[in-house]
Amino acid sequence: MPHSDEVFTALASPTRRAVLALLLDGPKRVQELAEHFDMRRPSLSEHLKVLREAGLVSERRSGRFRFYSLEPEPLREVADWLTPYERFWREKLTGLRDLLDEEDGL
């Protein structure tokens, strides 16, 4: 069970958020992930390690390959953390909506 510290820290990197987004499509090999980033493979490996330790991805070995899969459960901690604030931006949003009806793309 990952501590939420590790989860928030893992999400702080745009690269790591992009990895998670790629995994929304389904499990991927490291190489397949690496193609999307302008960085050497070992660097990506380290990002994957951070994600693994936060519990946000899991690894399955298959022959020479390792498939990484999304493990979104820790994100629930983020959603839960967000809950008490939700009320506030909703208030702000509805106030704004009267004035800027089309601006907030929702």
Contacts with a copy of itself in 79-98 (CB under 8 A)? 79, 81-82, 84-86, 88-89, 92-93
If we measure between CA atoms, which residue out of 55, 30, 57 comes closest to residue 43? 30
CB-nearer residue toward DNA: 31 or 91: 31
Q: Evaluate whether 72 touches 56 at the Cβ level (below 8 Å).
A: yes
Q: Which of 3, 17, 21, 49 binds DNA (CB under 7 A)?
A: 49
Helix, strand, coil % (nearest 5) of the chain? 55, 15, 30
Pseudo-torsion of CA 72, 74, 80, 85, nearest 10°? -80
Interface with DNA, residue 46, by CB under 7 A = yes
Residues making contact with a copy of itself (CB under 8 A): 5, 8-9, 11-12, 14, 17, 20-21, 24, 26-27, 60, 62, 67, 69-70, 72-73, 75-76, 78-79, 81-82, 84-86, 88-89, 92-93, 104-106
